[in-house]
Chain A
Amino acid sequence: MLNNNLLKYSSSPHIKAPHGTKWIMLNVCIALLPACIMGVIYFGLYALLLLALSVLSAVLAEVIFLLCIGKKFNEIIKSFDFTSCVTGLLMGMTLGTNYPWYSPIFGSFFAIIVVKMLFGGTGKNLVNPAIAGRIFIFISFQSVVAEWVTPTLFTTGEITTGATALVNLLENGLLSISNFNLFFGIGVAGCIGETCKIALLVGAIYLAILKIIDIRYPLIYVAVTGLFTVCLNGFNFEYFLPSILSGGLIIGAFFMATDYVTTPNTKLGNYIYFILLGLITAGLRQATKMEVISFAIMLMNLVIPLLDKFIIPKPFGYKKQREVK
């Protein structure tokens, strides 16, 4: 007699993938760590507090919600994937150190409970929860968002608050800060995670090597944003690098826009998505004179269902065949 427990039923495909959501999300966390560490070095221990609060409250929000809908605590621990950690970490990285300490808690709870869990949990959210949380904080605590802290490491200046490099670029034309300093985030005002571009790129390359993200799409996004900014500024190619290196384009492109849940399912859809994302980002930046990465990504997230609806891959065996992502 066969033991009933030995029989497992599942629908096709019967392929066992080596890595699950947990593995992927853990690696995204690892990829974000260098940027976090650089952020803490640049902005001090308060940055660490914001990041920790953000991650902890995101995990707590998920656990509380699951307990509320009647899941057992053991089950929650067992099925815990690190998506809420990634959400919390990404959201924390987009905050500045002049934010009040309670802002990441509100942001995390909004991101996890309203944006993710109420839509059906991991994999079913309509927009990226980290971005929604950031926008929630941005709208809710507007009074402090206009100013950003400039880190003092490697510079002689005092700690100051002011407009970010990107806002300066958009409002006053070309910057006094060199591209080198922008790349390493020396003396550049901004949020915790986005300042040090090199650390972010290291993380992105790590993810690309593990084939967690397809590096082509964020590169398309970055290139289109840079080129369109150049076009909007009278074909002055000196705008190309500063527009990419200032602001949150790198973290937005490599870590937020590439979220599995909120990207189209087809290759063509992805190309359209990332090109449109670049155009919208550059255009909105020019129009509003502020950083709009999060708004652009959220806006385009809402277009994804349409892209998935109208771009249908031809089934196998058809004459004209399009590759599925």
Chain B
Amino acid sequence: MKNIKKIALDGVVTSNPVLKLVLGTCPTLALTTLAMNGIGMGLAVTFVLICSNVLVSLLRKVIPSQVRIPAFILIIATFVTILRLLLDKLLPDLYASLGLYLPLIVVNCIILARAEGFASKNPILYSALDGLFMGIGFTFALTLMGAFRELLGAGAIFGVILWDFKIEFFSSSAGAFFTFGLFIAVFSLMESLIAKKKKINDYAKLCKLKESASVEEINAKLKGDK
């Protein structure tokens, strides 16, 4: 149970593939002009991630380590092909808007990194969960970035036009890099604030104070102890 919690936290927050590991930047930068694209791409990657992780994990004792990378790519390519055919038939609009980036999932470094770094060393259930939560982290980041850029660049959100005011900079590729940097910065800032809070809480526990004790109270207590 603890493992599962750790996998979930890893996938979405502590090693979020986009905002923390900075993997898969190509679809991140190119596709986040619209929030809907972010969701579509995120779900597509999640599907491939789960399937490839399960298969890699199943075959992890069969694949010789010298040829593991081509084998992983073969597995991933299989699922991407399945996905492409499915999307082409079921959701032609999404298929058209994702365009070139759908076949490029084959060489998406998130999927390869998880196959190499996680699935080839762990049992099936954990691998599937890792794929799921990594996919959720990816989708979350892409959707958020897409919504931000769509709101400022097109004055709309999920295709619903809110106002006429547009800053087209955010729709351009320069705006993509800017937004990406901004999101990484804000994400790191939030993470460091949470870590600081946790540290203070730990100190409070150590000094046998209430968990909500402030830094001043802890300092006063420490001085009193001395």
Majority DSSP secondary structure for residues of A touching B: helix
The closest CB in chain A to the CB of B167 belongs to A140
Q: Is the CB of A114 within 8 A of B178?
A: yes
**What residues on A are CB-neighbors of B169 within 8 Å?**
110, 136, 139-140
Task: State which of A110, A114, A142 has its C-beta within 8 Å of the C-beta of B168.
Answer: A142
User: Which residues of B, 147-200, contact A by the 8 Å Cβ criterion?
Assistant: 166-170, 172, 174, 178
**What residues on B are CB-neighbors of A46 within 8 Å?**
none
Distance between Cα atoms of A148 and B82 in the complex (Å): 53
Q: Does A65 contact B (CB under 8 A)?
A: no
Q: Is the CB of A140 within 8 A of B178?
A: no
Distance between Cα atoms of A114 and B177 in the complex (Å): 13
User: Which residues of A, 70-119, contact B by the 8 Å Cβ criterion?
Assistant: 106, 110, 114
- For the complex, count residues of A whose C-beta is within 8 A of B: 8
With both chains docked as a complex, state the minimum distance between the C-beta of B28 and any C-beta of chain A, in angstroms. 20
Distance between Cα atoms of A139 and B176 in the complex (Å): 13
Q: Does A237 contact B (CB under 8 A)?
A: no
The closest CB in chain A to the CB of B152 belongs to A140
**What residues on B are CB-neighbors of A139 within 8 Å?**
168-169, 172, 174
Distance between Cα atoms of A136 and B178 in the complex (Å): 12
Distance between Cα atoms of A139 and B171 in the complex (Å): 10
Q: Does A141 contact B (CB under 8 A)?
A: yes
Q: Which of B168, B169, B170, B174 has most A Cβ within 10 Å?
A: B169
**What residues on A are CB-neighbors of B167 within 8 Å?**
106, 140-141
Distance between Cα atoms of A45 and B28 in the complex (Å): 45
**What residues on B are CB-neighbors of A136 within 8 Å?**
169
User: Which residues of A, 219-262, contact B by the 8 Å Cβ criterion?
Assistant: none
The closest CB in chain A to the CB of B182 belongs to A114
**What residues on A are CB-neighbors of B168 within 8 Å?**
139-142
Distance between Cα atoms of A106 and B175 in the complex (Å): 14
User: Which residues of A, 131-148, contact B by the 8 Å Cβ criterion?
Assistant: 136, 139-142
Distance between Cα atoms of A142 and B171 in the complex (Å): 12
The closest CB in chain B to the CB of A114 belongs to B178
With both chains docked as a complex, state the minimum distance between the C-beta of B148 and any C-beta of chain A, in angstroms. 15
Distance between Cα atoms of A140 and B172 in the complex (Å): 9
Distance between Cα atoms of A110 and B175 in the complex (Å): 12
The closest CB in chain B to the CB of A138 belongs to B169
The closest CB in chain B to the CB of A100 belongs to B165
**What residues on B are CB-neighbors of A114 within 8 Å?**
178
User: Which residues of A, 269-290, contact B by the 8 Å Cβ criterion?
Assistant: none
**What residues on A are CB-neighbors of B178 within 8 Å?**
114
User: Which residues of B, 79-119, contact A by the 8 Å Cβ criterion?
Assistant: none
With both chains docked as a complex, state the minimum distance between the C-beta of A216 and any C-beta of chain B, in angstroms. 34
**What residues on B are CB-neighbors of A141 within 8 Å?**
166-168
**What residues on A are CB-neighbors of B166 within 8 Å?**
140-141
With both chains docked as a complex, state the minimum distance between the C-beta of B183 and any C-beta of chain A, in angstroms. 14
**What residues on A are CB-neighbors of B172 within 8 Å?**
139
Distance between Cα atoms of A110 and B182 in the complex (Å): 13
Distance between Cα atoms of A140 and B168 in the complex (Å): 4
With both chains docked as a complex, state the minimum distance between the C-beta of B168 and any C-beta of chain A, in angstroms. 5
**What residues on B are CB-neighbors of A110 within 8 Å?**
169
With both chains docked as a complex, state the minimum distance between the C-beta of B179 and any C-beta of chain A, in angstroms. 12
Distance between Cα atoms of A142 and B178 in the complex (Å): 19
Q: Which of B167, B172, B174 has most A Cβ within 10 Å?
A: B167
Distance between Cα atoms of A27 and B170 in the complex (Å): 36
Distance between Cα atoms of A141 and B170 in the complex (Å): 11
Distance between Cα atoms of A139 and B170 in the complex (Å): 9
The closest CB in chain B to the CB of A141 belongs to B168
Distance between Cα atoms of A225 and B120 in the complex (Å): 60
Distance between Cα atoms of A22 and B174 in the complex (Å): 33
**What residues on B are CB-neighbors of A140 within 8 Å?**
166-170
Q: Mark A141-185, 1 if CB is under 8 A from B, else 0.
A: 110000000000000000000000000000000000000000000
Distance between Cα atoms of A139 and B153 in the complex (Å): 11
Can you give 15 A-B contacts (C-beta < 8 A)? A106-B167, A114-B178, A136-B169, A139-B168, A139-B169, A139-B174, A140-B166, A140-B167, A140-B168, A140-B169, A140-B170, A141-B166, A141-B167, A141-B168, A142-B168
**Interface residues, chain A, with chain B CB atoms under 8 Å away:** 106, 110, 114, 136, 139-142
Enumerate the 7 nearest inter-chain pairs by beta-carbon distance, A residue then B residue, closest first.
A140-B169, A140-B167, A139-B169, A140-B168, A142-B168, A139-B172, A136-B169
**Interface residues, chain B, with chain A CB atoms under 8 Å away:** 166-170, 172, 174, 178
Q: A114-B178, A140-B166 are in contact. List 15 more A-B contacts (CB 8 A).
A: A106-B167, A110-B169, A136-B169, A139-B168, A139-B169, A139-B172, A139-B174, A140-B167, A140-B168, A140-B169, A140-B170, A141-B166, A141-B167, A141-B168, A142-B168
